[in-house]
């Protein structure tokens, strides 16, 4: 009996050993396959990072970076589809910048789009590539809300997408991660695999790392692009500033009865203030000062338009009011609702003490009387230009006449003078301006402009200039 027991036991042991060896070999093959997969992901990740670095170095602003990231990260983790959404400039929507052909929706599309896609699959692609997404919807919203990478194993089971995907996409697996640069949200990156092909834990870790590197590249590209745009705008502003300077008088006119001096100091590269000396005819000469409510390019364009219209209509016209009526009529249809223009225009006559002025809501000029060493404020009614089509403006803006005698000095200025602020927040004000005019008027128009400019500089003591400053001084000889 014992003679037959030992061979049976031996056979069972051998069979068990063979099974164990077969199992271990199978296990070794699985481990080897996993090792090869991991090594393959590592190589692809290295290639992706290398290419991303080169792309950033060569041209950080190029649009193909979006495609490189989507294709590169998809390749690293073996995904068939990828999608990259970036926040728009307002930070209120996610805009699709690169979507792979055939990619599933990450936010529930309208049912009409899904129904159409059942017959025309490309219609879903077209929709996804054009439709912005709400920051709180679908997988994209979930990622931005948690600010963590997400792994959705089957798309059709996601609460926000159930019933809103094509039947062929219900079992697709998705990984999505927020793109963050310097604590600032940039967008969302997502990759997906065909039905039934799950992502492993290692895939998720690698994808999360690739998303972080993509965030850095995209953030750097955005900073580069913003810096480039800023340099371009600054160059355009410098060009606009140079053009605007050409429009200002190069020197005052040489008149027998008057001496004129003017100055313009913009708060920014371009100014909404302007002043000009305008030939009327052989016996009359005009001077105008204006302030456009607003700053920058829009204000400078309105200023240029006012200058052109005023010069055209001043020719042979002895009515200052009629000239301003023409300016208002021209700019009213085109000026923005939140903008207007204040102007003061005067006409000087050769061989006469009479001065004609029209004021469209501008600061009242100051007149220094040499005989009494006193200051008069020249007040006459007038509505600012650009807020009324004509009837009210023309009724309020009328010619006003006064006389200037030898040694008198008329000062026209914009509110940037009186509203200039010191370090304590105090304004320069009209009284300081009157004092500065009184102290310098006896030395003539040029001295008045230089003296007031210096006084303003001393008053502000290096504080940033908040508004354009413009002055015209007119001395009766």
- Quick check: 52 and 213 in contact, CB under 8 A? yes
Residue 385 has pLDDT above 70, yes or no: yes
Only one residue has tokens 């340099």, namely 231
Residue 220 pLDDT level (bands cut at 50, 70, 90):
confident
How do residues 261-315 score in pLDDT, each as one tens digit?
999 998 877 778 889 999 999 999 999 999 988 666 777 788 888 999 999 999 9
Q: Give the model's confidence band at 325: pLDDT under 50 very low, under 70 low, under 90 confident, else very high.
A: very high
Q: Is 287 helix (H, G, I), strand (E, B) or coil?
A: strand
Q: How far apart are CA 415 and CA 469, in angstroms?
A: 7
Average pLDDT for residues 437-453, to the nearest whole number?
97
**Of 176, 193, 175, 203, nearest to 37 (Cα)?**
203
Q: Is the dihedral of CA 265, 287, 351, 436 positive or negative?
A: negative
For 246-258, write each residue's pLDDT tens digit: 778 999 999 999 9
Q: What is the pLDDT of residues 93-124, one digit of tens each?
A: 999 999 999 999 999 999 999 999 999 988 99
Listed residue (342, 367, 345) closest to 356, CA to CA:
345
- Quick one: how far is CA 352 from the chain centroid? 53
> What was the pLDDT predicted at 247?
79
SS3 177: strand
So what's the pLDDT on residue 234? 74
**DSSP-derived secondary structure letter, 90:** T
Measured CA to CA, the distance from residue 100 to residue 70 in angstroms comes to 8
Distance CA 14, CA 2 (A): 19
Which of 55-64, 289-298, 336-345, 390-399 has the highest average model confidence (pLDDT)? 390-399
**3-state SS, one letter per residue, for the chain:** CHHHHHHHHHHHHHHHHHHHHHHHHHHHHHHHHHHHHHHHHHHHHHHHHHHHHHHHHHCCCCCHHHHHHHHHHHHHHCCCEEEEEEECCCCCEEEEEEECCCCCCCCCCCHHHHHHHHHCCHHHHHHHHHCCEECCCHHHHHHHHHCCCEEECCHHHCCCCCCCCCHHHCCCEEEEEEEEECCEEEEEEEEEECCCCCCCHHHHHHHHHHHHHHHHHHHHHHHHHHHHHHHHHHHHHHHHHHHHHHHCCCCCCCCCCEEEEEEEECCCCCCCEEEEEEEEECCEEEEEEEEECCCHHHHHHHHHHHHHHHHHHHCCCCCHHHHHHHHHHHHCCCCCCCCCEEEEEEEEECCCCEEEEEEEECCCCEEEECCCCEEEECCCCCCCECCCCCHHHHHHCCCEEEECCCCCEEEEECHHHHCCECCCCCECHHHHHHHHHHHHHHHCHHHHHHHHHHHHHHHHCCCCCCCCEEEEEEEEC
Q: What domains appear along the chain, each with residue ranges and CATH number? A: 38-226 (3.30.450.40), 252-476 (3.60.40.10)
pTM exceeding the 0.85 threshold for the entire prediction:
no
Output the CA torsion sign for 393, 399, 402, 405: positive
Strand, coil or helix: 331: helix
């Amino acid at each position: 009996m014992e003679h037959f027991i030992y061979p049976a036991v031996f056979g069972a042991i051998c069979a068990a050993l063979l099974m164990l060896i077969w199992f271990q070999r199978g296990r070794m093959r699985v481990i080897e396959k996993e090792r090869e997969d991991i090594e393959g992901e590592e190589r692809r990740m290295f290639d992706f990072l290398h290419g991303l670095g080169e792309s950033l170095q060569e041209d950080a602003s190029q649009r193909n970076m979006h495609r490189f990231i989507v294709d590169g990260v998809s390749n690293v983790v073996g995904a068939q589809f990828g999608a990259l959404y970036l926040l728009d400039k307002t930070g209120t929507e996610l805009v699709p910048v690169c979507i792979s052909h055939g990619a599933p929706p990450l936010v529930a599309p309208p049912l009409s789009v899904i129904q159409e896609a059942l017959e025309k699959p490309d219609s879903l692609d077209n929709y996804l590539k054009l439709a912005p997404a709400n920051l709180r919807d679908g997988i994209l919203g979930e990622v931005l809300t948690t600010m963590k990478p997400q792994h959705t194993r089957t798309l059709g089971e996601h609460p926000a997408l159930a019933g809103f995907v094509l039947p062929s996409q219900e079992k697709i697996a998705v990984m999505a991660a927020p793109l963050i640069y310097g604590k600032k949200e940039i967008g969302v990156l997502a990759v997906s695999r065909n039905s039934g092909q799950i992502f492993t834990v290692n895939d998720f870790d690698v994808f999360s790392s690739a998303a972080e590197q993509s965030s850095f590249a995209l953030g750097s590209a955005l900073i580069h692009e913003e810096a480039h745009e800023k340099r371009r705008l600054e160059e355009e502003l410098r060009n606009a500033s140079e053009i605007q300077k050409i429009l200002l008088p190069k020197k005052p006119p040489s008149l027998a009865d008057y001496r004129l001096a003017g100055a313009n100091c913009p708060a920014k590269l371009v100014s909404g203030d302007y002043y000009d000396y305008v030939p009327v005819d052989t016996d009359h000469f005009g001077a105008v000062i204006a302030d456009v409510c607003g700053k920058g390019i829009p204000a400078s364009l309105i200023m240029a338009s006012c200058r052109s219209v005023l010069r055209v209509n001043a020719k042979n016209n002895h009515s200052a009011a009629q000239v301003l009526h023409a300016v208002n009529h021209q700019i009213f249809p085109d000026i923005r609702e939140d903008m207007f223009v204040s102007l003061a225009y005067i006409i000087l006559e050769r061989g006469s003490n009479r001065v004609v002025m029209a004021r469209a809501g501008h600061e009242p000029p100051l007149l220094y009387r040499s005989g009494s060493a006193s200051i008069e404020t020249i007040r006459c009614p007038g509505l600012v230009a650009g807020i009324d089509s004509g009837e009210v403006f023309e009724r309020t803006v009328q010619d006003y006449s006064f006389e200037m005698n030898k040694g008198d000095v008329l000062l026209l200025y914009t509110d940037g003078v009186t509203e200039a602020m010191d370090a304590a927040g105090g304004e320069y004000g009209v009284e300081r301006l009157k004092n500065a005019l009184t102290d310098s008027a006896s030395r003539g128009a040029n001295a008045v402009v230089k003296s007031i400019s210096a006084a303003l500089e001393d008053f502000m003591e290096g504080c940033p200039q908040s508004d354009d400053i413009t002055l015209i001084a007119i001395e009766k000889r």
